[in-house]
Amino acid sequence: MGPFAQIEKVGDIVIDVGLVGGTGYTGVELLRILVQHSEVNLKVVTSRGEDGTPVANMFPNLRPFTDIRFSVPNVDALCECDLVFFATPHGVAMEMAPALIEAGVKVIDLGADFRIKDVEEWSKWYGMDHTCADLVEEAVYGLPEVNRAAIQQARLIANPGCYPTATQLGYLPLIENGLVEPHSLIADCKSGVSGAGRQGKINFLLCETSESFSAYGAAGHRHLPEIRQGLRLANQGQPIGLTFVPHLTPMIRGIHATLYAKLTKEVDLQALYEQRFANEPFVDVLPAGSHPATRNVKGSNYNQIAVHRPQGGDTVVVLSVIDNLVKGAAGQAVQNMNILFGFEENAGMTQPAMLP
């Protein structure tokens, strides 16, 4: 395939898609998936700083797949799309989404603007006032393994964060069935550096992150209220207690969540997890005794899970891994798009993970 050749569209339905914020790691990962999707026509990709520049100039890996150029965000142009993704910092989507939704455009926000239902809580963690609380109330939290039916009918989808995805999926079978003490959960999570975004900050330079490993946000992290909210719903609305500590690891991609809980009932943990996720196309419960690695899911939309009960005691240890840019961001967003428009749920994401 030569430069700028187009993927042949083979589906019965082709939707026009826009992307606001196409220059970050999440944005380019979303583009990588979308240009391979047979039901998608990539219509608009925005960047204020790169207006008029071919997307492939910034991301040469996309050169054989698209000749689209960046453009300044314009609501009128975006209103010509069937769906608009926002891969933007918090505060951007909530300013533009109301006009798009009023025009009948579906919106999937990969940022944090619509994830937390309590707007006062959101403002506390994100340091600004929310401008459209009515849409927060309407937004569907885009974790397909929990909200698939609601996603199908949504106008606005709040794509989950990366840490919340790995953590919630790992805990769900235990919490939903009331099998563990809900007030003493511990999530010990590690992320690759791409989770910090495509930005020139000293803390994320190679010389700062290589050959090093450190915790951050131990006193409180923005993803904590999002995880608590999801687990509280899984716990039939009852409060949960969670200690969540994220870590930065010297790798580009991946999240490894090691999750701890105290059992309150006897249960076959392996059977529990296999049954809960038996019909989930992107959750892979590994055989008993397995230890998933982030490399197993690199570049894929899969969540690999293994569950352990050390020495047969009352502590459950769940190991949950994802690619933070795919199942933790862009891939899950496309999964939500596929559900929303009635496409095959794995459309555009049938490739296995990359090894090594």
Transcribe 121-143 into DSSP letters.
HHHHHHSS--S-HHHHHHPEE--
Q: Which neighbouring-strand residues pair with 306?
A: 319
Which residues are tagged catalytic? 162
> Is the N-terminal amide bond of 356 cis, ω within 30° of 0?
yes
- The C-alpha atoms of residue 18 and residue 12 are separated, in whole angstroms, by 20
The yes-or-no verdict on residue 134 having pLDDT over 60 is: yes
Number of H helices and E strands in the chain, helices first, is: 12, 14
In degrees to the nearest 10, what's the CA dihedral of 220, 259, 197, 75? -90
pLDDT band at 12 (very low <50, low <70, confident <90, very high): low
Residue-wise pLDDT for 139-167, tens only, equals 999 999 999 999 999 999 999 999 999 99
- The C-alpha atoms of residue 234 and residue 141 are separated, in whole angstroms, by 13
- The C-alpha atoms of residue 147 and residue 74 are separated, in whole angstroms, by 31
Look up residue 49 and give its amino acid: G
Contact 321, 291 (CB under 8 A): no
Among 177, 169, 198, CA closest to 25: 198
Mean confidence (pLDDT) of the chain: 94
Longest Cα–Cα distance in the chain:
61
pTM to 2 decimal places: 0.94
Pairing of strands 315-322, 303-308: antiparallel
Arithmetic mean of pLDDT, 293-308: 98
